[in-house]
Amino acid sequence: MTTYAGRALGPDAVVHGFLVEGVMRGAAELRLMPGRTGEVAVTVEDAWRLTGIGSALFGRLLLTARNRGLTGLVMTCLSSNRGMQRLAARFEGTITTASGDSCATVTARPATPLSLWREVVADSAAATASIIDRQIGLLREGAATVRRPLAGG
Ligand X SMILES: CC(C)(COP(=O)(O)OP(=O)(O)OC[C@H]1O[C@@H](n2cnc3c(N)ncnc32)[C@H](O)[C@@H]1OP(=O)(O)O)[C@@H](O)C(=O)NCCC(=O)NCCS
Encoded amino acid at 83, one letter: G
DSSP-derived secondary structure letter, 80? T
* Cα–Cα distance measured from residue 151 to residue 153, given in angstroms and rounded to the nearest whole number: 5
Window contacting ligand X (CB under 6 A); options: 2-10, 75-83, 112-120, 137-145: 75-83
Name residues whose C-beta falls within 8 Å of residue 112's C-beta, 6 or more positions apart in sequence. Answer: none
- Largest Cα–Cα separation, the chain: 69
Window contacting ligand X (CB under 6 A); options: 81-89, 93-101, 116-124, 126-134: 81-89
Identify the residue among 14, 27, 30, 53 touching ligand X (CB under 6 A): 53
Interaction of residue 68 with ligand X, rule CB under 6 A? no
Window contacting ligand X (CB under 6 A); options: 83-91, 111-119, 122-130, 131-139: 83-91
Instruction: Please work out the total of residues on this chain that contact ligand X, with binding judged by CB under 6 A.
Output: 20
Smaller CB separation from ligand X, 26 or 66: 26
DSSP-derived secondary structure letter, 102? E
Interaction of residue 105 with ligand X, rule CB under 6 A? no
In 70-112, DSSP assigns E strands to 72-78, 94-98, 101-107
Going by C-alpha positions, the residue among 103, 57, 108, 113 that lies closest to residue 78 is: 103
Smaller CB separation from ligand X, 13 or 111: 13
Interaction of residue 42 with ligand X, rule CB under 6 A? yes
Interaction of residue 37 with ligand X, rule CB under 6 A? no
Q: Are 58 and 43 in contact (CB under 8 A)?
A: no
Contacting positions for ligand X (CB under 6 A): 41-44, 49-55, 75, 77, 81-84, 86-87, 90
